[in-house]
Amino acid sequence: MGNIYSYNSNTRDGEDEVGSLTRRQQEEYERYKTNNEKNIYLRAILSERNRDEDEEINEELQKIRKDLTRRQKREYEKCRTDQEKFFYLKAVHSERERGVCLFKEIHHRCDSKQQTESV
């Protein structure tokens, strides 16, 4: 079984990730002697980025939820799973952006996917 921190920095993706580091992060990355140490450091940076992105997404979803109309709030409360709630808020955002209601289409996709998974 491989190291959970294993990340091949010699691959094209690894080169892209190292290239996207800040100067300070690149200097710190180069201080590590072994590939394993470098991989652990790179994984930590990527994990931190993902956490930051998740926080930004959650903040944006909170703003969208706060601005729901009464009708939209009722529809939101009908959503049973976190996934449905997420897709509903994305649809509301898209509706605001494009003037098109996407919720029914997305909800239909989720229902279709859940039905095929339960078979």
Can you give the pLDDT at residue 2? 38
Cβ contacts of 65 within 8 Å, gap of 6 or more: 76, 89
Measuring CA to CA, how many Å separate 5 from each of 22, 28, 36, 37, 61?
21, 17, 8, 9, 31
Nearest C-alpha neighbor of 73 from the set 87, 97, 89, 57: 89
What is this structure's pTM? 0.47
31 and 16 within one domain: yes
Q: Does the structure show a pLDDT above 90 at 70?
A: yes
Can you give the pLDDT at residue 7? 43
33 and 91 within one domain: no
Q: Could you tell me how many residues make up the chain?
A: 119
Q: Which of 31, 50, 66 is the last residue of a domain?
A: 66
105 and 50 within one domain: no
31 and 58 within one domain: yes
Domain that holds residue 88: 69-119
Q: Looking at residues 52-76, what average pLDDT do you find?
A: 89
User: How does pLDDT run across 1-44, given as a tens digit for each residue?
Assistant: 333 333 444 444 455 567 778 888 888 888 888 888 888 888 88
Q: Where do the H-state alpha helices sit in the chain? A: 12-19, 23-31, 35-66, 70-78, 82-98, 103-118
93 and 51 within one domain: no
Q: What is the mean pLDDT of the chain?
A: 75
The total of structural domains in the chain comes to 2
Q: Which of 47, 66, 85 is the last residue of a domain?
A: 66
